[in-house]
């Protein structure tokens, strides 16, 4: 659920619903990625305390003031956050503070998520710049960059440090004329660049149905739904 629909009183019951849905669809673990820096980070961290073996949390932050952003990032990492969400609604992609926050996340060896409705222009340039400056980083473009921007991100996937997360966009993409780009990606670059994700647990069925519409073998499906995420998050894959 989104932060606006869950509060501390309803948190435990909503987390139970989420984990029940995960069980129903064979999902072992999930990362909760807040979109609200005011309260969202703390709320999602509390959710992970209820099921510490099943749930992890990302954090989303304002990059400015620069020192405050770095301190907040360190605080949330120490509390258990496994990735940083760089949400275009919270910063300007040309701001040096945004570069500094990404650099701090890479130094802490956590993954960086980029969230954008449609990844283009300055935000696309920000992702491009971040991946070049930090070749050792692990960068995930949420929602595959958006339906109409998906073709724009494909050239970036030649880099070893960038992946695409499937939520929202994959469902629309498999029934869109842009499907040809997806088929080409799977054929030319491979499934190793896609990571299964959903905006909400009610999307699980649609996401899995969309994956089934792509011509994937067992190994490719396992990469997308399991192994890639373990690698990106720096967690040892156990098979």
Q: Which CATH number belongs to the domain containing residue 121 in this structure? A: 3.20.20.140
Question: Does residue 239 fall inside a structural domain?
Answer: no
Question: Does residue 145 fall inside a structural domain?
Answer: yes
Question: Does residue 188 fall inside a structural domain?
Answer: yes
Question: Does residue 238 fall inside a structural domain?
Answer: no
Which pLDDT tens digit goes with each residue over 173-192?
999 999 999 999 888 887 89
Question: Where in the sequence is the domain holding 65, given as residue range(s)?
Answer: 3-232
Question: Does residue 163 fall inside a structural domain?
Answer: yes
Which pLDDT tens digit goes with each residue over 71-86?
999 999 999 999 999 9
Total tally of structural domains belonging to the chain: 1
Which pLDDT tens digit goes with each residue over 116-154?
999 999 999 999 999 999 999 999 999 999 999 999 999
Which residue is it, tokens 């991946």? 131
Question: Does residue 101 fall inside a structural domain?
Answer: yes
Instruction: Identify any residues that bridge with 140 across adjacent strands, giving them in sequence order.
Output: 113, 163
Question: Does residue 187 fall inside a structural domain?
Answer: yes
pTM assigned to the model? 0.94
In terms of Cα–Cα distance, which of 180, 204, 205, 183 is closest to 194? 183
Question: Does residue 237 fall inside a structural domain?
Answer: no
């Amino acid at each position: 659920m989104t932060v606006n629909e869950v509060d501390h009183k309803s948190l435990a019951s909503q987390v139970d619903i989420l984990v029940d849905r995960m069980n129903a669809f064979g999902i072992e673990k999930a990362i909760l990625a807040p979109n609200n820096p005011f309260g969202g980070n703390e709320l999602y961290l509390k959710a992970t305390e209820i099921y510490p073996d099943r749930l992890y949390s990302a954090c989303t932050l304002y990059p400015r003031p620069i020192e405050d952003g770095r301190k907040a990032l360190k605080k949330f990492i120490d509390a258990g956050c496994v990735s940083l969400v760089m949400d275009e609604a919270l910063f300007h992609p040309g701001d040096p503070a945004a570069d500094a926050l990404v650099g701090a996340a890479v130094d802490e060896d956590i993954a960086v998520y980029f969230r954008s409705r449609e990844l283009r222009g300055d935000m696309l340039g920000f992702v491009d710049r971040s991946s070049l400056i930090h070749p050792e980083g692990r960068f995930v473009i949420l929602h595959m960059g958006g339906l109409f921007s998906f073709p724009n991100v494909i050239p970036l996937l030649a880099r070893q440090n960038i992946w695409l997360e499937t939520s929202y966009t994959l469902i629309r993409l498999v029934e869109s004329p842009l499907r040809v780009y997806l088929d080409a990606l799977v054929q030319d670059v491979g499934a190793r660049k896609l990571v299964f994700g959903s905006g909400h647990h009610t999307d699980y069925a649609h996401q899995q149905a969309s994956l089934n519409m792509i011509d994937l073998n067992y190994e490719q499906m396992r990469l997308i739904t399991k192994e890639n995420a373990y690698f990106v998050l720096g967690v040892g894959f156990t098979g």
